[in-house]
Chains A and B, each alone.
Chain A
Amino acid sequence: MFVLVVGGGKVGYYLAKELIDAGHEVALMEKDRRRAGQIADEIGSIVIAHDGCEGKYLGEAGCNRADVVAAVTGDDEDNLVICQMAKHHFDVPRTIARVNNPKNEALFRHLGVDELISPTRMILGSIEQDIPVHELLHLAALGEGELEIIEAHLQSGSPAIGHAPRDLAIPDGCSLFAVIRNGVATPLRPDTIMLEGDKVIAIGNTDCQALLHAQLIGEALATDA
């Protein structure tokens, strides 16, 4: 496979090196001549000391026969333009962009970049895995502490959304009794359809909370990329 890597920073450098080791044909574009020279000294004459955003140099680097273009510079706007030029001007089948600002992901995807790699998003995701984002909120303990009043905030992914309490397997010893919607509390009837954003107030013993969690909050966000 012929892979054109644009950007000779740490990411581009190691990417090119790994690809060469794996037996692929690689060209690396780096506009800083000194940096380009350094890399060339280390991994050979695959380095093109030109700006990969410039159409002329992309063409000279063989962009039109590249199977993959990976834009891994430190600037999102450069990576976007490299991928768009590769895709639309040189008909490259697969373009990959490094995206630093996670907010740019939607725009890049919308504009036709095939794959986005966001280091920021990945690290963020890794951190968030350790934080319980969606949890039952314990409002008050009653009696001997056996019973608790619990609030469940129904967010996207909750299996309860679009269903009424009678459709759910509410555990014994537990009752859903009110819903707060747009700041207004109303009784939750067996046939009230629950909506995203609802805060469902339940009362139950501590044993049934795992089941209640599964019914109202859903599983952990593991598969939600």
Chain B
Amino acid sequence: MKIVIVGCGRVGASAADLYDRSGHDVIILDSVTAAFDRLPSTFGGQAIRGDGTDEDVLLKAGAAGADVFLAVTEGDNRNVMAAQLANEALGISRSIAKINDPLRAAAYAELGIATLCRTGLMLDAVNEYLALGPSNLPGMLAPSGHHDGDRHDGTSSLTRPVSPTGASTGSTSATTQEV
């Protein structure tokens, strides 16, 4: 599989190393070059410095057509935006965003991206160790809806041509133009 990882922190670097060693095609991005020091010298994938919320950067990095997109920077919102960009503009249907706020994690699963909430995962792990019940907080959530509310086919109207007036031809074009 081709796997794109945004954020080369502990989670990102470990995931990159793991998937690389299991024979997957890994591209990892971080806005700070020093972050790549976390990767082992044996890492055989691509490490690219750049902002994972910038479509041009993702395209240049070769992220288009990836099978999996994993946004694990330390900023919840950056992860949300990167994953939605991957999903909508690059057509990567399996986009996962790390979101530590349980409310946002649940909300974004309903809006079409898979979410990963450390708060819920950790509490569940602790509770399991203590033989207590589940936390009832979101842990790993699969997408359960779409931001349009109706489409689930993974196609993106963002990649469709834009009309000459600049209005999106997608189904969410009922918006007011600025300027």
Chain A residues proximal to chain B, CB less than 8 Å: 53-56, 75-78, 80-81, 84-85, 88-89, 101, 103, 106-107, 109-118, 121-122, 125, 156-157, 224-225
A116 to B178, Cβ gap below 8 A? yes
Interface residues of B in 91-130 (CB under 8 A from A): 101, 103-104, 107-108, 110-111
Interface residues of B in 158-179 (CB under 8 A from A): 158, 162, 164-166, 168, 170, 172-173, 175-179
Chain A interface, >50% SS class: helix
B164 to A112, Cβ gap below 8 A? no
Give min CB distance, A155 to chain B, whole Å.
10
Beyond the given A107-B85, A111-B88, A112-B172, please list 9 additional residue pairs across the A-B interface where CB-CB is below 8 A: A53-B77, A75-B77, A88-B111, A103-B55, A107-B89, A109-B173, A111-B84, A115-B176, A122-B178
Known interface pairs A111-B88, A125-B179. Does A80 touch B147 (Cβ–Cβ under 8 Å)? no
Chain B residues proximal to chain A, CB less than 8 Å: 53-56, 75-78, 80-81, 84-85, 88-89, 101, 103-104, 107-108, 110-111, 147, 157-158, 162, 164-166, 168, 170, 172-173, 175-179
B179 to A121, Cβ gap below 8 A? yes
CA distance A53 to B111 in the complex (A): 16
With beta carbons under 8 angstroms apart, the residue of A54, A112, A225 that contacts B178 is A225
B104 to A85, Cβ gap below 8 A? yes
21 pairs of residues in contact across A and B, judged by CB atoms under 8 Å? A54-B103, A55-B103, A56-B101, A75-B77, A77-B53, A80-B81, A88-B110, A88-B111, A107-B85, A107-B158, A109-B172, A110-B158, A110-B172, A112-B172, A115-B175, A115-B176, A121-B178, A121-B179, A125-B179, A224-B165, A225-B166
B80 to A80, Cβ gap below 8 A? yes
CA distance A33 to B102 in the complex (A): 23
With beta carbons under 8 angstroms apart, the residue of A81, A113, A225 that contacts B175 is A113
CA distance A110 to B177 in the complex (A): 13
CA distance A81 to B177 in the complex (A): 20
Contacts of A225 on B, CB cut-off 8 Å? 165-166, 177-179
B81 to A77, Cβ gap below 8 A? yes
Q: Tell me the nearest residue of chain A to B104, going by C-beta.
A: A55
